[in-house]
Amino acid sequence: MTRFVVRRLISMVLVLFAISVLTFLIFQVIPNGDPAQRMAGRLSTPETVAAIRRTWGFDQPIWQQYLTTMKKIFSGEVISYTQQVNVLDQIKQDLPATLSLAIGAGIIWLVLGVLFGLLSAIRAGRFTDRALTVLALVGVSTPVFLLGAVALYFLAFRVQLFPNGGYVPLTSDPPQWLYHMILPWLVLSVLFIGIYSRVLRSNLLDTMNEDYVRTARAKGISERRVLLRHVLRNSLIPIVSLWSLDFAAVIGGGAILTESVFNLHGVGQYAAESIAQLDVPPVMVVVMFGAFFVVVLSAVTDVIFALLDPRIRLT
Amino acid sequence: MSDVASSSSLAMSGGRKPLLDVEDLRVAFRTEEGVVQAVDGVSFHLDAGEVLAIVGESGCGKSVTGMTLMGLTRSPNARFGGRATFDGRDLLAASDDELRRVRGAQIAMVFQDPMTALNPVLRVGPQLVEQIRAHGDLGRDEALERARALLERVGIPRPEERLRAYPHELSGGMRQRVMIAMALSCDPRVLIADEPTTALDVTIQAQILEEVRRLRAETNAGVILITHDLGVVADVADRVAVMYAGQIVEQGTLDELFYDPQHPYTWGLLGSIARVDRPRPPRLPAIAGTPPSLADPPHGCRFRPRCPHAFERCGELPPLEARAGHPDRCWLTPEQKRTKRRVGGQIGLAHGDEEVAA
Amino acid sequence: MATVDSTVRAGAPAARGADAGPAQPAGIGPYRLALRRLRRNKVALAFGALFLLIVVLCLCAPLYAAHVAHTGPNDNHVTETVKVGGVAKDVVSPTGQPIGPTWHGRFLLGADQNGRDIAVRLLYGGRNSLEVGGIATLVTMTLATIVGIVAGFFRGFVDGVLARMLDLIWAYPVVLLGIALGTSLALGGITIGPIALHGNSLLVPAFIIGVVYIPYVAKPIRGQVLGLREQEFVDAARVGGAGPLRIMWSEILPNVSSTLVVFVPLMIANAILLEAALSYLGAGVQPPNPSWGTMISDGIRLIPSAMHLTFVPGAMLVLAVLGINVFGDGVRDALDPRAKVRLEEHAEEASR
């Protein structure tokens, strides 16, 4: 177990390092992306630009700039170029919206994905299965921002059943929070429900062919018990890993599109806006933050795996 | 033809009703290649305390026969015919629920591959307990105690520990013993063992067979042993049914089959086992060719395409008839059979070229 | 890393269902068999045909523009009028309201706020979207196959480096990586050796999308190759004196080809979707070039007043992606060696 934790910590540090370097480099290759020039504005004198360049350290070698940025990130003093606000404060401010989205949608897509997958497998080849298959494929074929825009138009603009986007903090007004989150949750869930139900369906059908399921049936235990205890339990294992990685990605700003369409002002939307303004520090922080969640949750997944399947050892 | 078989079975069981009576069993599956008639008119009976071996190559329908008796082949793509009477009721006509109460309790099955037949993510104990509790009114602790006793009975050392083990922590032989313990957990009256030793080492095979023999004596259960290995058959079987392409081609007592085999396919099977008491042939003869597709079986005798002794009449399917004491499906006369089955001084199936030379 | 006890995986279901009938009709290769299965799957074929139809329509965009609509994809007609049922109507009203579908040759599906013909832009945009999707898939499949096979075959150091690189892309949220690359490259373009791409070239988003999806294909391929390289036929080739390149090309590649085939439609669908997402965020196809994604994102702000701007390209995009997805699903089912066993043995759960 100690070995497992140590290995995971080392790999996390490596991933975070690599991701931060990659992000930094992506923005360095921009030829006319000189941040000093942009910060100074269009009508600036060369002197102002040079001054900004000096104070922000843009005149230093690239590795030096990288180190400075990293140092600032870890001491919590990193300032964005455009707004010139503390990036970590901004993320702290945006995080509740992203967490609300991730947790609510995560529960919905897990529950419905498993439910539809199970239903589809039990009724394999029949009408229910075919209908769910078509729905799932429509779900994975629809861009989330299109779905969000259409949902907003009909349900918020035409019928006015839901609010027209925006985020209300849970702490300030719980019913309004729920009211504002329902539509984003559902829209974000559609894609995942489609994927999960298909994956689970095919896992279930594979597992039903296993010898031990035949053994279970030969024991004369009820079909329900065969399905839940012997088939579903084994088929759910891959779903767990899928879920935790997707969940981590959403927390880490992966739900950019949903956050943008519903104007939730989450972490992902912040990153997207920062990228559009070529504002490197926030992007680096968000990306590292997201990668951190991916690495941590994949370690947690492996622990859950080992608990669910005794054949798997943690190394 | 089924009349002949069932009348002869009545004669053998001395007019008493057999424990299990299978008459004209037919199983067909709808597949991509068309309808596969996996079992085509199979009849046999089984008495308490006897071991009936069903022998044949893989794909001959022997496993399907066993699984059908348990209701494990039921599916929208399967069609069944005939009767399988057990305890006064037809297993083929029984409802899913009725059948569920029978299987695991009255009829139990041991499967071929112990490596995959146990659920890998559950401990051995709960897997035994769930069957015991499904068929009896036992509490968790009582059931667990019974499971422990069962493991001890099938010769597993330190059974308390094994109950807490996961299947992958046990050896293959040990797992097969667990499977046998599981099958015996509700004192079944019929035990169907589908290739119980095929996946195991030779020494373990002997132990498992010894176990089957001992348990048959102790519990007086009837055993259907499904195998392709005549060595195993010679070891434990009382009677033998030889299956080929979904049909029984010869049926008789162990002695009848080994010393007076009537069907060329049986000769081939007998000829292909290595025997230590005979001079070793230069090459262990195998039956030439492969079993036919059950989606499109050959006309007439199904063994005809592989049989070196085939003649005009074989274009017509021979019935399962007793021509020389026990029933078989071959048009050759008993006299012809006696001469043709001797190959190099022992029983075997001549190869086409040798036939020409003779 | 979690490892699975090797005995667990060794229990391959090779002999399963052998007793239920002949395993496979003799003399028919796996691809012939799959093709036969696919031919029977009418739904998959119908959706595949739908996708093909959309492709053909989009390829005919110049013909439509020249002979039916008489305008190009980027031509403005803001100040013009069009006759609908004998009445002359503004293409874009003085209040900025674009005309809706006329159901005639000109402005068949209406105009956008710049007075451009939606139908023409839809076809040209489709061409761009499909081109980006196709090239991205080509990039993904080629690089992923090479990386997956090389990493799985050589293992050790090479595998370590390649696998870490895949992990890196994997840990980076797809859309974030896409827009980061997209924004930076859209401004500056990119120069790879002799090839210099301009920032608004279609190849930029295609290349980005292709790279982003590499791990999704390379990881499963690598896993499969790790298993394949231990098999007897690889040993046999090695004993026969074949070098690593030869073995990878003629022994390993054919054995992972069915996995690759399954991935192609899936990747086309994903690439088209990601192109739309990137364009929506301004990091994909650059204006004034149309693509379904840019058309949707242009239209979204105007949904309340002119929803055809969003719904027309949206519907087209969903239909195309749905078509290739359903077809891909059918291909996967047809290539699945267990499909037949399922049909025989395990539709049975359906009855309960």
pLDDT in tens, B277-298: 656 555 556 777 788 888 888 8
pLDDT at B16: 66
pLDDT at C5: 32
The answer, as to whether pTM is greater than 0.90, is no
Closest listed residue to residue B173, CA positions, set B114, B104, B116: B114
Q: What is the pLDDT of residues B41-92, one digit of tens each?
A: 999 999 998 999 999 888 888 999 999 999 998 888 889 999 999 988 899 9
> Which of the two residues, A185 and A10, has the higher pLDDT score?
A185
| Measured distance CA(C34)–CA(A21) in Å, rounded | 46
B354 reaches C (C-beta below 8 A): no
Which residues have C-beta within 8 Å of that of residue A132, sequence separation ≥ 6?
A: A116, A119, A120, A197
* A310–B101 C-beta distance less than 8 A: no
Burial of C240 (0-12, 13-18, 19+ CB in 10 A): exposed
Determine contact, residues C118/C302, Cβ cutoff 8 Å: no
pLDDT at B251: 94
| Measured distance CA(C167)–CA(C219) in Å, rounded | 9
* Cα angle: A264, vertex A269, A274; to 5 degrees: 145
For residue B51, the surrounding DSSP H or E stretch is strand B51-55
For residue C61, the surrounding DSSP H or E stretch is helix C61-64
Minimal CA separation from C223 to chain B, in Å = 22
Q: What is the pLDDT of residues A13-29, one digit of tens each?
A: 888 888 888 888 877 76
Chain A hits for C171, Cβ within 8 Å:
15, 19, 290-291, 294-295
Q: Which amino acid is at B19?
A: L
Chain A hits for B147, Cβ within 8 Å:
none
| Measured distance CA(C168)–CA(C149) in Å, rounded | 18
> Which of the two residues, C112 and C48, has the higher pLDDT score?
C48
| Residue A105 pLDDT class (50, 70, 90 cuts) | very high
Average pLDDT over residues C280-303: 86
Positive or negative torsion for Cα C124, C126, C127, C131: positive
pLDDT at B241: 95
Q: What is the pLDDT of residues B132-180, one digit of tens each?
A: 999 988 899 999 999 999 999 888 899 999 999 999 999 888 998 899 8
Average pLDDT over residues C322-342: 77
pLDDT at A93: 92
| Measured distance CA(C151)–CA(C147) in Å, rounded | 6
> Which of the two residues, B95 and A276, has the higher pLDDT score?
B95
Which residues have C-beta within 8 Å of that of residue C335, sequence separation ≥ 6?
A: C30, C34, C258, C261, C262
Mean per-residue pLDDT over chain B, rounded:
85
Q: Between β-strands B107-110 and B190-194, what pairing exists: parallel, antiparallel or unpaired?
A: parallel
Q: Where exactly are the structural domains of chain C?
A: 122-344
pLDDT at C17: 34
pLDDT at C322: 95
* B118–A215 C-beta distance less than 8 A: yes
Half-sphere exposure for A262 (CA within 13 Å, toward CB): 32
pLDDT at C18: 34
pLDDT at B238: 93
| Measured distance CA(B92)–CA(B113) in Å, rounded | 26
* Cα angle: C184, vertex C189, C190; to 5 degrees: 100
Helix, strand or coil, per DSSP, at residue C180: helix
Determine contact, residues B85/B19, Cβ cutoff 8 Å: no
Q: Between β-strands B51-55 and B239-244, what pairing exists: parallel, antiparallel or unpaired?
A: parallel
Q: Which CATH superfamily is domain C122-344 in?
A: MetI-like (1.10.3720.10)
pLDDT at C21: 37
| Measured distance CA(C31)–CA(B71) in Å, rounded | 35
Please name the member of A153, A249, A257 whose beta carbon is closest to the beta carbon of C304. A153
Please name the member of B76, B96, B293 whose beta carbon is closest to the beta carbon of C347. B76
Helix, strand or coil, per DSSP, at residue A303: helix
Q: What is the pLDDT of residues B208-259, one digit of tens each?
A: 888 888 888 888 889 999 998 888 888 889 999 999 999 999 999 999 999 8
> Which of the two residues, B224 and A281, has the higher pLDDT score?
B224
Neighbours of chain A (3+ CB pairs under 8 A): B, C
Please check the confidence at residue B348 and state whether its pLDDT lies above 70.
Answer: yes
Q: Between β-strands B239-244 and B190-194, what pairing exists: parallel, antiparallel or unpaired?
A: unpaired
Backbone angles phi, psi at C117, to 5 degrees: -70, 115
Determine contact, residues B9/B322, Cβ cutoff 8 Å: no
Please check the confidence at residue A231 and state whether its pLDDT lies above 80.
Answer: yes
Closest listed residue to residue B145, CA positions, set B157, B170, B128: B128
| Residue B2 pLDDT class (50, 70, 90 cuts) | very low
Q: Tell me which of C7, C179, C279, C280 to substitute to probe the interface with A (most A C-beta atoms closer than 10 Å).
A: C280
Average pLDDT over residues A164-168: 87
Please name the member of B118, B134, B166 whose beta carbon is closest to the beta carbon of A220. B134
* A252–C347 C-beta distance less than 8 A: no
| Residue B1 pLDDT class (50, 70, 90 cuts) | very low
Q: What is the pLDDT of residues A62-93, one digit of tens each?
A: 888 888 888 888 888 888 887 788 888 999 99
Please report the residues numbered 247 through 266 in chain A whose beta carbons come closer than 8 angstroms to any beta carbon of chain C.
249, 252-254, 256-257, 260
pLDDT at A289: 83
Determine contact, residues B281/B50, Cβ cutoff 8 Å: no
Average pLDDT over residues A206-231: 91
Length of chain B: 358
C21 reaches B (C-beta below 8 A): yes
Give the residue carrying structure tokens 């006696």.
B338
pLDDT at C185: 76
Q: Tell me which of C4, C6, C19 to substitute to probe the interface with B (most B C-beta atoms closer than 10 Å).
A: C19
| Residue C11 pLDDT class (50, 70, 90 cuts) | very low
- CA dist B262 → A287, B59, B305, C6 (Å): 78, 22, 18, 47
